[in-house]
Amino acid sequence: MGDYTIQISSRLINQLAEGDNQPKRKAKKTKPKVSPQSKADQAKTHHHAEKPKPMAEPPTQSPPFFFPVPQQAAANTELESIKSVLKEGEKVLEKVERQERSIVHEVAERANDLREKEFKIPEPKPMPCSSDHEAWKKCYEENVGNPLKCSGLVMRFQDCARLFRQQVSSKQT
């Protein structure tokens, strides 16, 4: 068997739902033009006219190819399509929200990394010749009455400081 498609308009559905309460239009009857002689002939034959034929009654059932669809079923179909569109929209929204959360998390991590690098206090460089400096200071504290005992430590500190100054000046040039 072949496949058939039936299209039912909303106007037809409304007509079926309302029933046959609407007045039907009567078709206009047109009279044929008859000559005066034929009128006389018609009058003679009128007496011998046949009895009117009874009209056939319209069928009570719909033809087999017509399947009326109730208005409720059409509304349900439309409602189901709207629901499916809503579900699809919700899925897309969830996906976008997940992407947004991951991007926000990534941006927050990068911002923290930058903040740590920018505001991180640098490690202090050790003071050059600090051990020699501490040694002569301690010697002076212990030998307050005889500071000449610390002259060798002071000379070592001076040599270390001079050497460091030379290294710094050679790097700058």
DSSP state of 2: -
Q: Per residue of the chain (173 residues), give pLDDT as tens.
A: 566 667 777 787 777 777 655 555 555 666 656 555 555 555 555 544 555 555 555 555 544 455 555 677 777 888 888 989 999 999 999 999 999 999 999 999 999 888 888 776 777 888 889 999 999 999 999 999 998 999 999 999 999 999 999 988 888 76
Residues 160, 132 contacting (CB under 8 angstroms): yes
Cα distances from 4 to residues 1, 7, 46, 67, 77, in angstroms, run 9, 10, 51, 11, 20
Model pTM score: 0.31
Q: What is the pLDDT of residue 3?
A: 67
What does the block give as tokens for 116? Answer: 């740590």
- CB-based contact 77:8 (threshold 8 Å): no
